[in-house]
Amino acid sequence: MISVTLQEQVDLQAFNTLGVSAVAEFYCQVNSAQGLAEASDWASDRNIPITLLGGGSNVVLQPTIAGLVIHNQIMGLQCDPHDEHSTLVSVGAGESWHDTVRTTLERGLYGLENLSLIPGTVGAAPVQNIGAYGVEVKDHFWRLTAFDRFAREWVTCDSAFCQFAYRDSVFKRSPGRYLISEVSFLLSHRFEPVLSYGPLAALQPTAGNALTGIQVSDHICALRSQKLPNPAELPNAGSFFKNPVVDVAQFQRLKQTFPDLVAYEVPEGVKLAAGWLIDQAGFKGYRDPDTGVGMHSEQALVLVNPKHADATAIFKTVAMIQQAIQRRYGVALEVEPVLIG
Ligand SMILES: Cc1cc2nc3c(=O)[nH]c(=O)nc-3n(C[C@H](O)[C@H](O)[C@H](O)COP(=O)(O)OP(=O)(O)OC[C@H]3O[C@@H](n4cnc5c(N)ncnc54)[C@H](O)[C@@H]3O)c2cc1C
C-alpha cells in the first residue's frame, strides 16, 4: 500500500529549465518524508530505478526516463536556537532555494545572501554544493536528513559525510542512493558581508552608511538578472561547464600563449574561467543552425536551448565545444548538470 498517487507516462517538459521533452515511465509528487520513503520502497520492491527531481534546473533529461520520477514537494521551515550567536534553520527539501534565502534574511539570519536567486530547491543545494559570489552552501551547512535507498533507512549526514567539493558532494557521486528530505543551516545573527568577489566591491560599506543582508541580496539579484537568461524566456541550466582546474606548470604555459587568461589560484592548482575559454574560442553567441542549441550571447558559459531540442542535440553541441576547447587549450571541460535517463 502506498499513500502517494502514481501516474504513468508523464511529460516532464514543464519541470526542467532546459525545456526538454522527456516522458517518465512512472511519476509521483511527494510532500512528506514518509511519502518519500514509501515511493522509494515501491520502486525498490519492483527493482526499478528512481530519479528524484527538484526544480529541474541542473539536469539534462533523456527523451524517456525509465522507472519512477519522484517530484519533491516537501515543504516547511523551522528555526531553533543554537547559541547566542546563531540559529539552526531546518528546511523541507522541496522549498524554493531563493525564497528560503530571502526568508532567512527577513528574519535577521545571515550567511546565505550571496546565494540569492539560484534556481531550484533546498534539497538539491547540497547535491552539487551550490556556489556563487564567493560563497558555497557548505559554508553554512549544518546537517541533512536523507533516505538511504540501499540500506532502506533514514540517515543524518553531517558536513564530513557529505564530502563537499567544488560543485560536488557524495550525493552527486552516488546518484539515486540518498533522497534528501530536509537540510539544516547554521546562520549567524551578525551580518558579516562577503564582498571579495569583484562585482560586489561597489557595495563596500562606508562610514555612516551601513550595509544590510537584504541590500546584498538585492544587488546580487540585479547582477544575476542582467547576466543570466531567465529559463522561462530562454531555456537553460545556468553554467553548463565546471571551471577546469590545471596544475601551475600548465597554467604558466597557457598564460604565455593567452596572456589575458582569466584564472585564480585554488588549493589544488589554478582554476580557469571556463566562460573565458569558450568566449575566446569564438563560441559566445554560437547557435547550431539545425537545433538552435548554443551558448548565450551575454554569458558564454550558459548553454541555451531556444527550440526545446532534445538531449542528443544538446550533447552534439557540447561535444563540439569540448573538442574545440581541448584542441585550443589542451583542457578538458566537464559538464555540470546531471544527465538523467
Ligand atoms: C539560470 C540558472 C542559474 C544557475 N546558477 C547557479 C549558480 O550560481 N550556482 C550553482 O551552483 N548552480 C546554479 N545553477 C544550477 C542549479 O540551479 C542548482 O544546481 C540547483 O541546486 C538545482 O536545484 P534543482 O532543485 O533544480 O535540482 P534538479 O535539477 O531537480 O536536480 C539536480 C540533481 O540533484 C538531484 N536532487 C534533486 N533534489 C534532490 C534531493 N532532495 N535529494 C537528493 N538528490 C536530489 C537530482 O536527482 C539531480 O541529480 C543555475 C541554474 C540556472 C537555470
Query: Which domain-ending residue is among 227, 259, 279?
Result: 227
In a domain, 1, yes or no: no
Q: Does residue 211 sit in the same domain as residue 258?
A: no
Question: Residue 136's pLDDT is what?
Answer: 97
Q: Are 217 and 279 in contact (CB under 8 A)?
A: no
**Residue 239 among the catalytic residues:** yes
In angstroms, what is the span from residue 261 Cα to ligand 1's centroid? 28
Question: Residue 197's pLDDT is what?
Answer: 85
pLDDT digit string (tens) for the chain, length 341 residues: 677 899 999 999 999 999 999 999 999 999 999 999 999 999 999 999 999 999 999 999 999 999 999 999 999 999 999 999 999 999 999 999 999 999 999 999 999 999 999 999 999 999 999 999 999 999 999 999 999 999 999 999 999 999 999 999 999 999 889 999 999 999 999 999 999 888 898 887 776 678 999 999 999 999 999 999 999 999 999 999 999 999 999 999 999 999 999 999 998 999 999 999 999 999 999 999 999 999 999 999 999 999 999 999 999 999 999 999 999 999 999 999 999 98
In a domain, 277, yes or no: yes
**Residue 334 among the catalytic residues:** no
In angstroms, what is the span from residue 56 Cα to ligand 1's centroid? 7
The answer, yes or no, to whether any atom of ligand 1 lies below 6 A from the CB of 122, is no
Best residue for ligand 1 mutational test, from 13, 31, 36, 57 (most atoms within 8 Å of Cβ): 57
Question: Residue 201's pLDDT is what?
Answer: 83
Q: Does residue 298 sit in the same domain as residue 316?
A: yes
Query: Which domain-ending residue is among 227, 257, 288?
Result: 227
In angstroms, what is the span from residue 255 Cα to ligand 1's centroid? 33
Of 169, 181, 217, 239, which residue is the catalytic one? 239
**Residue 167 among the catalytic residues:** yes
Four-residue CA torsion sign, 264, 266, 270, 272: negative
Query: Which domain-ending residue is among 209, 227, 245?
Result: 227
What pTM was estimated for this model as a whole?
0.95
Number of domains in the chain: 3
**Helix (H/G/I), strand (E/B), else coil: 40:** helix
Long-range contacts of 167-171 (CB under 8 A, 24+ apart): 167/128, 167/129, 167/130, 167/131, 167/242, 167/336, 168/128, 168/129, 169/126, 169/127, 169/128, 169/129, 171/126, 171/127, 171/146
Q: Does residue 202 sit in the same domain as residue 110?
A: yes
Question: Residue 207's pLDDT is what?
Answer: 65
Of 86, 143, 167, 184, which residue is the catalytic one? 167
| CA–CA dist 93, 71 (Å, integer) | 11
Question: Residue 208's pLDDT is what?
Answer: 66
Atom of ligand 1 nearest to the CA of 167: 11
Residue 176 belongs to what domain range? 77-227
The three three-digit cell numbers of residue 213, written as one number: 543582508
The C-alpha R_g of the chain, in whole angstroms, comes to 21
Question: Residue 1's pLDDT is what?
Answer: 61
Q: Does residue 286 sit in the same domain as residue 255?
A: yes
In angstroms, what is the span from residue 125 Cα to ligand 1's centroid? 6
Give the domain CATH number at 142. Answer: 3.30.465.10
Four-residue CA torsion sign, 11, 15, 16, 18: positive
Q: Does residue 206 sit in the same domain as residue 264?
A: no
Question: Residue 158's pLDDT is what?
Answer: 98
